[in-house]
């Protein structure tokens, strides 16, 4: 198969398991020079015509926090809408920390739904992404925090994730609990010695196995990209992180198909931004603390009141009024539900949900909906050009509530959390600048960086 030119049309279509991860993929390709647009609902032919140069189309989803039954209902149609676009690679975008379990966000179930839609006889999986400090070695996933690498089952955040705690770092074993499908590995030694293509042929079969590809450094990253692209055949399905985008881009650069110095523009500063956060990550907690110390006005949502149907409206209006008042004074508001995994609001969340007569999942969704309503009202009442949402589930709820049809990348900030432009049928929403930030993304000064349009450290 010719490898020194791209085929006509789309190169890849993807479904993101949450909104923040979906923008992560868009950033990785856009920065590399692959024109990409992310839709928040299945794209119509008319909307696709607005982006004639696009080479990658994404569809933002919310499957990471959903059950297998939900996936069975929702994913077949979503995947089919992307498959019919004709790209040779159909991707289910997973988090680079592989957040999943048999009951919540099952990657295995997504693979079993997606594989029959493409003709390939193997399903590659690229999870490691050195740019995001994620590494896979001999099938085991590692992530670095503050310069220290952890195997994922010993990671200070992921090992005690409130919904999908990581108890197994070997992704083959982790997947085995989610699907009976055969899982295989092409390790970093095989990638480096040039035996990988032959191994793909040996492993491929009618049962369409998942084949994990180790990514540890730039060499194995490019090798993984070369393997996926040259062995794509008539089309394949892959469950991969944005590591796949970095891998494909690295290979395409080696073939002269992309510029050697990928980059994104720098954004102009704005005087005020608005932030809502539903993240429980310690990374986001540090960002909230930094913002408080740098003049942001932080407003904590009272979760017992928010989840109480009799008091919810009053609580939402309280924080909205405070935030609107801050904006009028030239101060950036930050509305948050918790500050880190040890926050009392997190520790007491189950009890708070029970008191409100809600299951945990219902309560979590209510929090996301509450943050979405806060942001919607802020945009109605205050002159905002740029906003931030922290947390994967929260990002999905907020973006869905704002009547945004699509997103494109405006500028780079932290890896995995770009500044995006909103495309909307609503004139007042069209052109809004928005960042959807995963809980683990960004340095302590990230919210300040969004306001400044550039990194501050």
CATH code of the domain containing 139: 3.40.50.10840
Domain-terminating residue out of 208, 224, 254: 254
- State the Cα–Cα distance between residues 438 and 274, nearest whole angstrom: 16
> Do residues 88 and 133 both lie within one domain?
yes
Which residues, in sequence order, are bridge partners of residue 408?
A: 421
Q: Residue 198: is it exposed, middle or buried by C-beta count within 10 angstroms (0-12/13-18/19+)?
A: exposed
Cβ-based neighbours of 398, under 8 Å, separated by 6 or more? 276, 368, 371, 372, 375, 389
Q: What is the pLDDT along the chain (457 residues), one digit of tens a residue?
A: 456 789 999 999 999 998 888 998 999 999 999 999 999 999 999 999 999 999 999 999 989 989 999 999 999 999 999 999 999 999 999 999 998 999 999 999 999 999 999 999 999 999 999 999 999 999 999 999 888 999 999 998 888 777 788 889 999 999 999 999 999 999 999 999 988 999 999 999 999 999 999 999 999 999 999 999 999 999 999 999 999 999 999 999 999 999 887 678 889 999 999 999 999 989 999 999 999 999 999 999 999 999 999 999 999 999 999 999 999 999 999 999 999 989 999 999 999 999 999 998 889 989 999 999 999 999 999 999 999 999 888 888 899 899 999 999 999 998 889 999 999 999 999 999 999 998 888 999 999 999 999 887 7
CATH code: domain of residue 288: 3.40.980.20
| 224, 282: one domain | no
Model confidence, pTM: 0.92
| 50 and 198 housed in the same domain | yes
99 occurs within a structural domain: yes
DSSP for 68-110? Answer: HHHHHHHHHHHHHHHHTT--SEEEEE--TT----SSSS-HHHH
Is there a single domain that holds both residue 137 and residue 281? Answer: no
Q: Mark whether 280 and 208 lie in a shared domain.
A: no
Helix (H), strand (E) at residue 449: helix 446-452
Q: Label the pairing between strands 148-151 and 140-145.
A: antiparallel
Helix (H/G/I), strand (E/B), else coil: 264: coil
Q: Domains in the chain: how many in total?
A: 2
Q: Report the b/e string of 353-384 with b at 16+ CB within 10 A.
A: beebebeeeebbbbbbbbbbbbbbbbbeebeb
**DSSP H or E run through 59:** strand 56-60
Closest to 338 in 3D by CA, of 417, 285, 267: 285
311/178 same-domain check: no
Residue 264 counted as domain residue: no
Cα–Cα distance for residue pair 245/222, rounded to 1 Å: 10
Identify the domain containing residue 281 by its residue range.
Answer: 274-452
């Amino acid at each position: 198969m010719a490898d020194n030119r791209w085929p006509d049309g789309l190169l890849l279509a993807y479904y993101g398991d949450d909104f923040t991860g979906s923008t992560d993929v868009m950033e990785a390709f856009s920065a590399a020079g692959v024109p990409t647009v992310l839709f928040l609902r299945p794209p119509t032919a008319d909307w696709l015509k607005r982006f004639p140069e696009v080479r990658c189309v994404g569809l933002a989803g919310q499957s990471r926090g959903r059950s297998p039954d939900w996936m069975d209902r929702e994913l077949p149609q979503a995947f089919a809408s992307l498959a019919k676009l004709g790209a040779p690679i159909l991707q289910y975008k997973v988090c680079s920390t592989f957040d999943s379990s048999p009951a919540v966000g099952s990657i295995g179930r997504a693979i079993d739904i997606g594989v029959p839609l493409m003709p390939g006889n193997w399903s590659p999986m690229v999870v490691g992404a050195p740019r995001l400090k994620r590494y896979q070695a001999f099938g085991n996933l590692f992530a670095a925090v503050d310069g220290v690498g952890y195997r994922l089952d010993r990671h200070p955040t992921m090992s005690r994730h409130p919904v999908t705690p990581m108890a197994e770092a070997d992704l083959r074993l982790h997947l085995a609990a989610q699907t009976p499908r055969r899982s295989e590995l092409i390790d970093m030694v095989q990638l480096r010695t040039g035996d990988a293509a032959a191994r793909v042929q040996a492993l491929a079969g009618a049962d369409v196995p998942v084949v994990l590809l180790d990514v540890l450094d730039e060499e194995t990253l490019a090798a993984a990209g070369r393997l996926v692209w040259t062995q794509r055949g008539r089309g394949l399905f892959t469950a991969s992180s944005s590591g796949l985008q970095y891998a494909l881009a690295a290979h395409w650069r080696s073939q002269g198909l992309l510029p050697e110095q990928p980059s994104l523009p720098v954004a102009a500063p704005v005087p005020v931004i608005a932030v809502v956060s539903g993240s429980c990550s310690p990374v986001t907690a540090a960002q909230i603390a930094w913002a408080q110390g740098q003049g942001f006005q932080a407003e904590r949502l009272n979760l017992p009141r928010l989840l109480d149907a009799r008091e919810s409206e009053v609580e939402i209006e309280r924080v909205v009024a405070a935030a609107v008042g801050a904006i009028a004074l030239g101060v950036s508001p930050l509305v948050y539900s918790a500050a880190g995994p040890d926050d009392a609001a997190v520790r007491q969340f189950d009890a708070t949900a029970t008191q409100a007569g809600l299951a945990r999942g219902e309560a979590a969704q209510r929090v996301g909906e509450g943050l979405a309503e806060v942001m919607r009202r802020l945009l109605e009442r205050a002159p905002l050009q740029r906003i931030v949402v922290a947390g994967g589930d929260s990002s999905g709820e907020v973006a869905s509530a704002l009547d945004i049809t699509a997103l494109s990348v405006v500028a780079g900030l932290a890896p995995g959390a770009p500044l995006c432009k909103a495309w909307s049928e609503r004139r007042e929403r069209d052109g809004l600048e928005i960042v959807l930030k995963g809980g683990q993304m960004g340095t302590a000064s990230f919210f300040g960086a969004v306001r400044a349009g550039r990194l501050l450290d």
